[in-house]
Amino acid sequence: MRAFWFSHWLCAVLTGIAFGLAPSAAIREQAAALIIEGRRARIIGRGSRGKFRSLLVVAELGIALVLMTGDGLLMESFAHLVRVDTGFAPKNLMTFPINLPRRSLPQAQQQAQFYRQVLERVKTLPYVR
């Protein structure tokens, strides 16, 4: 379980770093190009454009906070779910689906009889209780 939490944390940190550094790399390249051309580098836009960018940053941070909170609650719920007592020992338990074609056995009694026969045959196998 610790490996799961660590990998989750590592993924979150690496994603945050990657998406946090991508815009700064783009701005740095833009500023370097302007400096090479000999113009003054102005990174943040003027007037309403700068306000819109600031609004987008605030919205992004708010959404990120909500998502991280929901993610933490989801992980905690999953950890509790893993520890729930199921009421039986799943060790050495095998399950498998049986798809019964409805055309070959259309009536409910025929289907029930088929399942009873399958169960009886499976019980005759070694190590099956």
pLDDT digits (tens, 9 = 90+) for 41-77: 455 555 566 677 778 878 888 888 898 888 889 989 9
Mean pLDDT of 96-110: 81
User: 68, 57, 59, 61: which is closest to 13 by C-alpha?
Assistant: 68
Per-residue pLDDT tens for 109-126?
A: 888 888 898 889 988 988
Most confident of 26-30, 49-53, 97-101: 97-101
